[in-house]
Structure 1
């Protein structure tokens, strides 16, 4: 079978490899689609993701496919099921796992990060990580369940009520997901700030955004938001997020900055406004909600997927060659 193998920093090669064998508690999945995200970009460049990836390794922690084989102890899925995989595997024994904070697990492993993932024709996963995809959800959309679940986890860390006025900063794929998810969770007004006019317009026309701000054109963001989602990860936008708040506001710092990155904020303002500034890491217990959002129609992501490369084109989306990408989902299998 074909597999796209990360063999070294900034080096990926399509290789013909053996179809993997499964253990008694594992599932063999024929990959249909695998998403490419910022974590894959980091791993390609030798930086850590949710965990460190050691080459040779097959990336692809966002994926969907068809069950091809199940281990002898697997009872919850069967051959032929349409599935997606929660990549993050927790040890269950460390201090964080035993105190209800498993996303902070000291021994985290992950499909597509520490073990081979979906950028190959067949991959394996523990049955505990495999979720059946509702019949009305296309597998192309289901491949994005993992990033959706990361956004849902972030939302669950906040206290949301319908009266709130929310702002999403960042018009990449994750920011566009947050626009729809905030509304699905009942927030009555969602505004959107970014730098790509076509994406801002799409979300206003199709996904219920009230106001848009193109900061590249000098639009000023008001300072009256109850909830602000920062989905970029740059000091400038992190500062904008804090500055956009009203009293009692919550700021979700979702965008991933560089390991040594810092930003400035007025600490008196944090005190005087009684702000909550919340980080968010990966996606514990959020796959069921994410699949329900897709199945219900409250979350429509197919218009956000801009590119569908093949395995041999993936490096163009990791080295910056490909331009104008909202979301790339690799078509791995027929």
Structure 2
């Protein structure tokens, strides 16, 4: 099969690999589409510590089953599926307390084991979700990033009527916007330096948009929930200053693992600011599938570019330039199609 391989930091090529074969508890999926993510950029740059090289990237994907392991029940060839890419050990301290996303042997398809930027991908059957008839295979790769938003909101545990401020109108910021609006937010404001992205945020229901929080109407009071979806340290440092007393700051965006940000410890103490992270997926993939099927997300607006496998570097460049929104790799797509 044709596949993208990140051999090591800054070493990427498209090559031919043996087709995967399923173990007893696995299936093999013919990949219909796979979404690019900021994590993929960090992996290639050598900025995401958990990465195991060499690896076929791609952790947001959907497709059709073409082979089924001998012990798999409930799935058959031809089934349309997506998959939670997280693979946990099930026996460490964090798995035992129900926090598998912090697993001491944390694994993810497309990061620590070969993923879906290939014609075929091997998947544990336990990770599969059958797609309802109303869910398009081309839209289904959005389930994975949406599931991280669902977990992010679980962690924040906002009150109905909270005002949200989101930094970043890329894919994750726009998904967060759409989900927070339907989760009882009184308002959702979005900050981004890219005016084109802000226009899309308005289209998707943002109450206020600006290139700086100083331009927004709650700048003097602050926001109950401020979320960074950029992973950029200057944005993170600014976002923290916008939290209302007693509010919550969430670091949602993935920053390079070597970066550090500065903040005021006194303000955390004096204003009782709660700071929370949000790591990947936790008991949220199935709920995200249900929300996508219910139409919570404008999938057609979110997906703007599709590239073939041989155009993976071009797709990464497009992502890094901030052009478009969700970018997908479609293995069956010929270059330039």
TM band (smaller chain)? over 0.9
Alpha-carbon separation, structure 1, partners of 2:47 and 2:272? 35
Matches within 5 A, 1:101-250: 101-204=99-202, 206-215=203-212, 219=215, 222=219, 223-250=221-248
From 68, 71, 93, the equivalent of 1:70 is 68
Alpha-carbon separation, structure 2, partners of 1:47 and 1:238? 18
Residues 321 and 162 of structure 1, relative CA distance in 2, 3 Å threshold: closer
Deviation digits for residues 33-80 of structure 1 (CA, Å, limit 9, x no counterpart): 01111111111123335x22211x211111110111211211132221
TM-score of the two chains, using structure 2 as the length reference: 0.92
> Are the counterparts in 2 of residues 27 and 126 from structure 1 also a CA contact under 8 Å?
yes
> Are the counterparts in 2 of residues 66 and 82 from structure 1 also a CA contact under 8 Å?
yes
TM-score of the two chains, using structure 1 as the length reference: 0.93
1:28 aligned onto 2:25? no
Unaligned runs of 5+ in 2: none
1:53 aligned onto 2:52? yes
How many residues are matched?
Answer: 330
> Are the counterparts in 2 of residues 30 and 333 from structure 1 also a CA contact under 8 Å?
no
Residues 273 and 325 of structure 1, relative CA distance in 2, 3 Å threshold: same
Alpha-carbon separation, structure 2, partners of 1:114 and 1:259? 16
**Superposed CA RMSD:** 1.9
Deviation digits for residues 139-189 of structure 1 (CA, Å, limit 9, x no counterpart): 121112211111111111012222111111111111111000111222121
Alpha-carbon separation, structure 2, partners of 1:195 and 1:307? 21
Q: Cα distance, 1:322 vs. partner?
A: 6.5
Q: Cα distance, 1:320 vs. partner?
A: 6.4
- SS of 1:40's equivalent in the other structure is helix
Unaligned runs of 5+ in 1: none
